[in-house]
Structure 1
Amino acid sequence: MPERDWFEAYALPDRETPRVRANFVTSIDGAGTLGGRSGALGNETDQRIMHVLRSLADVIVVGAGTIRAEGYGGAALDETDVAWRRDHGLPDQPPFAIVSSRLDVDPRHPFFAEAVTRPLVVTHGASPVARREALAEVADVLVCGDDEVDASAVVAAFADRGQPQILTEGGPSLVGDFAAAGHLDEFCVTLSPSVVGGDATRIVRGAPEADRRMRLVHAIPDGDYVFLRYAR
Structure 2
Amino acid sequence: MRRIYPDIQDDPPIEQAYAYPPDRPWLRVNMVASADGASWMNGLSGGLSSKGDRRIFGVLRGLADVVVAGAATVRAEGYGPARPRESWRPLREGRPETPPVAVVSRSLDLDLDGPLFSEAISRTIVVTCASAPADRLAAAKSVADVVVAGEEAVDMEAAVRGLHERGLTRVLCEGGPRLNAQLAAAGLLDELCLSISPLLLGGGAARILNGEAALVGLALSQVLEEDGVLFCRYTREPNHD
TM band (smaller chain): over 0.9
**Displacement after TM superposition at 1:207 (Å):** 2.1
For 1:219, which of 220, 223, 226 is the aligned residue? 223
Distance 2:63 2:110 in 1: 27
**1:13-92 correspondence to structure 2 within 5 Å:** 13-14=21-22, 16-86=23-93, 89-92=94-97
**Displacement after TM superposition at 1:117 (Å):** 2.1
Q: Is the 8 A contact 1:71 1:110 kept in 2?
A: no
Distance 1:106 1:158 in 2: 22
**1:1-232 correspondence to structure 2 within 5 Å:** 1=1, 5-14=13-22, 16-86=23-93, 89-210=94-215, 212-232=216-236
Q: Is the 8 A contact 2:82 2:98 kept in 1?
A: no
- Report the aligned-residue RMSD: 1.5
Q: Which residue of structure 1 lines up, in the alignment, with residue 239 of structure 2? A: none
SS in 2 for 1:46: helix
SS in 2 for 1:72: coil
Distance 1:3 1:105 in 2: 40
Q: Which amino acid aligns with 1:45?
A: G
Deviates more, 1:178-187 or 1:147-156: 147-156
Structure 1 length-normalised TM: 0.93
Deviates more, 1:184-193 or 1:1-10: 1-10
Unpaired runs of 5+ in structure 2?
2-9, 237-241
Q: Which amino acid aligns with 1:23?
A: N
Distance 1:99 1:23 in 2: 16
**Displacement after TM superposition at 1:82 (Å):** 3.1
| Identity rate, percent | 44
**Displacement after TM superposition at 1:90 (Å):** 2.0
Q: Is the 8 A contact 1:67 1:111 kept in 2?
A: no
Q: Is the 8 A contact 1:152 1:183 kept in 2?
A: yes
- Residues matched between the structures, number: 228
Distance 2:73 2:44 in 1: 9
**Displacement after TM superposition at 1:3 (Å):** 7.3
Distance 1:3 1:129 in 2: 51
Change (3 A) 1:90 1:12: same
Structure 2 length-normalised TM: 0.90
